[in-house]
A and B are shown apart, each in its own frame.
Chain A
């Protein structure tokens, strides 16, 4: 057995009172290219005693833009929120508008949405593993392996939606176009090859002693704090809270698939990482079943309007389980072609609420790892 260093907290009690605190501004570029994120950290030696995230470097007021354009024209803008998962963003927005207008979605379109959302989850978590290792200093290897695999999913996206990342694919009441020829077969090959990649990734990562000592016990949070702070997605479940919107809300047709929800027990960085690895295996199960069962039929509700959509007066909040957490859209319509209020509930921003609590008492180098394990995308944090 190797000794795992005890990450005991360094508090004011055992702090040398004569020692000076150092204020350090990290970013807005550095934190390992997660984007233009900045943190103001106060350090005692190498230990973090205070940490304040600073936002807004990528702010473009997406909500204001969306309140000035038609409902359709907002879809390409939602691609740019969390630019790794544009398809789930599309879905969350389409779902909210469908709630607002009371539109149904044909069965085949629901299947297509689930296939694409789970593929998005796969490629997001794959990229996440690479980025997390990059934050730990293993710069390159894991990221390149992850990207090599992710590229196969992106090829699928490109041949269907036309773009690797900015898909602009879901429409109110369905999807934009059907699969091109041979797409499902190609997707099946990618999915069949995925477990091999996951095995390799696990062999590379999860038993590595350096990784274990850098992640286990780092940035742990309790389930009560996590709930109170509104965390969602894998990092909420890593604390042991069983809450997955796919199971709770059963939006789309998720209730037809049998899959399990991974749950952590310590809420530390290691759990957060494992959560993603396990979730990918569950996504593969859903994908296999969905590709086998997908029925023929129309892909868009004939009642749906593409242009000049004027939903009836009212409001709706729709949310889905995006790879990052709970992604919600809150819309108020006043019967105009533009929404009166358009609000994005960004999981990346709210998941950062506890960043300070997670980081305090740890070394500054661990802050990068903790930040990486939250898995943020700045396009969504700043909007």
Chain B
């Protein structure tokens, strides 16, 4: 029985100075995950696949998650007129995009190990290493993540949109995506719209 801690230690042994962190899952499913630094993503993935004891040879599911910027309210103590005053300040925790890989081992019949990679932010630094060279099953799914979340995968053999058309703008699965209003003037209205109009 392998625990996530041993896997983390083995990764750190094999890939020194890789950032690996266990993200605990508070829910009843108890599927914790490993947050991996994007710089070492490929090396860690290779290790997980090829290590004779782990042998995560089957990458089942690849998906993206969008975490928006969060504003947290914090109490800080500010020194004012020689007095400690407690004030509330709002701090913006920058959001990020995340790719989640669910790994299983077919030869060892164990799993899942959940691997997460995070981008630096949501606008410019959305580059992550592609794990398609390690698991070919990630090929279409990473293209889908690129399409719907706008994460750029370096090293992907065919980094094009999967589901939307080529000239489509925006990434529909992002939480702040607004669908264009493509109702044409004079379009008949639905029951719901009629009600909204009446009220």
Which 10 A-B pairs give the minimum distances between C-beta atoms?
Answer: A314-B27, A230-B137, A102-B28, A316-B29, A56-B163, A345-B61, A229-B136, A99-B29, A343-B63, A59-B163
Asked if B26 is at the interface of the complex by the 8 Å CB criterion, the answer is yes
Question: Are A56's CB and B63's CB within 8 A?
Answer: no
Q: Which residues of B contact A61 (CB under 8 A)?
A: 148, 172-173
Which of A110-118, A207-215, A346-354 makes up part of the contact surface?
A: A346-354
Contacts of B140 in A (CB 8 A): 55, 349-350, 352-353
Does residue A241 face the partner (Cβ distance < 8 Å to B)? yes
Asked whether B27 lies within 8 Å of A333 as measured between CB atoms, the reply is yes
Q: Given that A56-B163, A61-B172 are known contacts, is A317 also in contact with B61, CB under 8 Å in the complex?
A: yes
Instruction: Find residues 73-118 in chain A having any chain B CB closer than 8 Å to their own CB.
Output: 99-102
Bound-state Cα–Cα, A310 to B141, Å? 29
Q: Is the CB of B58 within 8 A of A56?
A: no
Does B112 reach chain A (CB closer than 8 Å)? yes
**Do B28 and A56 touch across chains, with their CB atoms under 8 A apart?**
no
Cβ distance B70 to chain A, nearest Cβ, rounded Å: 11
Given A56-B165, A341-B65, are A230 and B60 neighbors across the interface (CB < 8 Å)? Answer: yes
Residues on A facing B (Cβ under 8 Å)? 55-56, 59, 61, 63-64, 99-102, 225, 227-232, 241, 243, 248, 311-317, 319, 326, 328, 330, 332-333, 340-341, 343, 345, 349-350, 352-354, 382-383
User: Quick check: B139 and A330 within 8 Å, CB to CB?
Assistant: no
B65 touches A332 (CB 8 A): yes
Do A330 and B106 form a contact, CB below 8 Å, given A100-B27, A313-B26? no
Contact of B58 among A64, A101, A227, A382 (CB under 8 A): A227
B136 to A, closest residue via Cβ = A229
In the bound complex, residues from chain A placing their C-beta under 8 Å from that of B60 are: 230, 232, 319, 326, 328, 345
| Most chain A CB atoms below 10 A, which of B28, B102, B162 | B28
Question: Is B115 an interface residue when CB atoms closer than 8 A count as contact?
Answer: no
Main secondary structure on chain B at its contact with chain A?
Answer: loop
> Complex formed: what's the CA distance from A56 to B163 in Å?
4
Task: Report Cα–Cα, A241/B138, bound state, in Å.
Answer: 20
Please name 30 pairs of A and B residues whose Cβ atoms are closer than 8 Å in the assembled complex, sorted by A.
A61-B148, A61-B172, A63-B148, A64-B172, A64-B173, A99-B28, A227-B106, A228-B136, A229-B139, A230-B138, A232-B60, A243-B106, A248-B109, A311-B27, A314-B26, A314-B29, A315-B31, A316-B29, A316-B31, A317-B29, A328-B61, A330-B63, A330-B102, A333-B27, A345-B60, A350-B137, A350-B140, A350-B141, A353-B139, A383-B163
Contact indicator A59/B164 (Cβ below 8 Å): yes
CA distance A327 to B198 in the complex (A): 44
| Known interface pairs A229-B137, A350-B141; 16 further A-B residue pairs with C-beta atoms within 8 A, sorted by A's residue number | A56-B161, A99-B28, A227-B58, A228-B136, A230-B60, A241-B106, A311-B27, A312-B27, A312-B28, A313-B26, A317-B102, A326-B60, A328-B60, A345-B61, A345-B63, A353-B140
Q: Can you list, as one digit per residue, whether each of B43-74 has a CB less than 8 Å from chain A (1) or not (0)?
A: 00000000000000111110101000000000
Which residues in A have their C-beta under 8 angstroms from that of B135? Answer: 228, 230
CB <8 Å contact, A230 and B58? yes
Cβ–Cβ < 8 Å partners of B27 in chain A: 100, 102, 311-316, 333
B114 near A: Cβ within 8 Å? yes
* Distance, CA A64 to CA B61, complexed state (A): 18
Residues 115-171 of B contacting A (Cβ, < 8 Å)? 135-141, 148, 161-165
Q: Which residues of A contact B173 (CB under 8 A)?
A: 61, 63-64
In the assembled complex, the CB of B22 is this many whole angstroms from the nearest CB of chain A, namely 14
Q: What distance in Å separates the Cβ of A27 from its nearest Cβ neighbour in chain B?
A: 15
The minimal Cβ–Cβ distance linking A73 to chain B, given in whole angstroms, is 15
Q: Residue B28 contacts which of A229, A314, A328, A343 (CB distance < 8 angstroms)?
A: A314
B4 at the interface (CB under 8 A from A): no
